[in-house]
Amino acid sequence: MSRKLRLGVLVSGGGTNLQSIIDRCRDGSIDAEIALVLTNNPQAGALERCRRADIPFLTIDHRRYASREEFDAQMVAALRKAEVDLVVLAGFMRLISSVLLDAFPGSIMNIHPALLPAFPGLHVQKKAIEYGVRFSGCTVHFVDAGLDTGPIIIQAVVPVLDSDNEATLSARILEQEHRIYPRAIQLFAEGRLRIEGRRVLIDPPLTPSEAALVHPPLDG
Ligand code: GRF
């Protein structure tokens, strides 16, 4: 039997995406195991999820390192020691340097709560409401040297309602994050993702399933 894909999940906060990955690894819909959870934040709520699920975790406090590169070198050492194949950023609130990028070429994913390339960066649910877009959503992408610029693996579209505030839209988007991140990881585990320039090709291809979404809906 071949060895299972080993995930290293990087978190800074509450870790609901981490939880969805834990759950999907447990029920077999992700054919991988979480080898290590790493955080830069000793207070991260995600750590309690690791304790409960009996998953190894490690805190590397970025404030103890003089540069981003030194901090990343510590993370690379821990990820290598845990024999991690795929690095999964799940609400990890630090920019990563070439030290981490070069250690895991084509093998770092991130989830972002907007439909990239619209609204990169922070507080993007609020920005989507303020801009007046009718749809936002979430994006899983491979990580490159830019801010939320890497090749896109999977996206989910979520309507923005007139009644939305930052909290309600964030919650609606988060529900979809919990569906698409496990799916992207499973596609990677199945060896179905190929990066070609800016594009991620899925092999064998997915079937075209749904018609276009229009919001507000049109007659007929
Ligand atoms: C998510 O909205 C994710 O898209 C963003 O940070 C948030 C993390 O939430 N990068 P959680 O810690 O997984 O609950």
Question: Which pLDDT score, from 0 to 100, does residue 119 have?
Answer: 98
Q: Which ligand 1 atom is the nearest neighbour of the CA of 113?
A: 4
Q: What is the pLDDT of residue 154?
A: 95
Whether residues 79 and 130 share a domain: the answer is no
| Ligand 1 touching residue 15 (CB < 6 A) | yes
Mark whether 71 and 131 lie in a shared domain.
no
Q: What average pLDDT values come out for the chain (220 residues) when binned by 10 residues?
A: 92 98 98 98 97 98 96 98 98 96 98 98 98 97 97 96 98 97 97 96 80 73
Same domain, 114 and 70: no
Ligand 1 centre from 113 Cα, in Å?
7
Tell me the pTM.
0.96
CA–CA distance, 201 with 205 (Å, rounded to integer): 8
100, 115: one domain: no
Residue 219: predicted pLDDT? 74
pLDDT for residue 220: 64
Calculate how far, in angstroms, residue 164's C-alpha sits from the geometric centre of ligand 1: 19
Q: Which of 9, 17, 158 to mutate to test the pocket of ligand 1 (most atoms within 8 A of CB)?
A: 17
State residue 215's pLDDT score: 75
> Residue 66 Cα, ligand 1 centroid: separation in angstroms?
26
Cβ–ligand 1 distance for 139 under 6 Å, the answer no
The ligand 1 atom at the shortest distance from the C-alpha of residue 110 is: 10
What is the number of domains present in the chain? 2
Task: Give the pLDDT score at 188.
Answer: 98
Domain containing 145 equals: 110-220
Domain end position, chosen among 105, 137, 155: 105
Nearest CA to ligand 1 atom 12: 15
Mutate to test the pocket of ligand 1, among 111, 138, 180, 185 (most ligand atoms within 8 A of CB): 111
> Of 66, 86, 105, at which residue does a domain stop?
105
Quick one: 16 and 101 in the same domain?
yes
Q: Does one domain contain both 99 and 114?
A: no
Q: Give residue 116 CA to ligand 1 midpoint distance, Å.
A: 15
Query: Does the CB atom of residue 112 touch ligand 1 within 6 A?
Result: yes
pLDDT of residue 1: 63
Q: Tell me: do 92 and 128 sit in the same domain.
A: no
17 Cα to the center of ligand 1, angstroms = 6
pLDDT (0 to 100) of residue 37 = 98
Same-domain pairing of 79 and 173? no
Give the pLDDT of residue 94.
Answer: 95
Q: What is the pLDDT of residue 97?
A: 97
Which residue puts its alpha carbon closest to atom 7 of ligand 1? 91
Q: Tell me, yes or no, whether 88 and 125 share the same domain.
A: no
Output the domain CATH number for residue 172. 3.40.50.170
Q: Are residues 10 and 68 in the same domain?
A: yes
Last residue of a domain, one of 105, 122, 140: 105
Considering the domain architecture, whether residues 78 and 119 belong to the same structural domain is answered as: no
Catalytic positions are 112
Are 10 and 98 members of one domain? yes
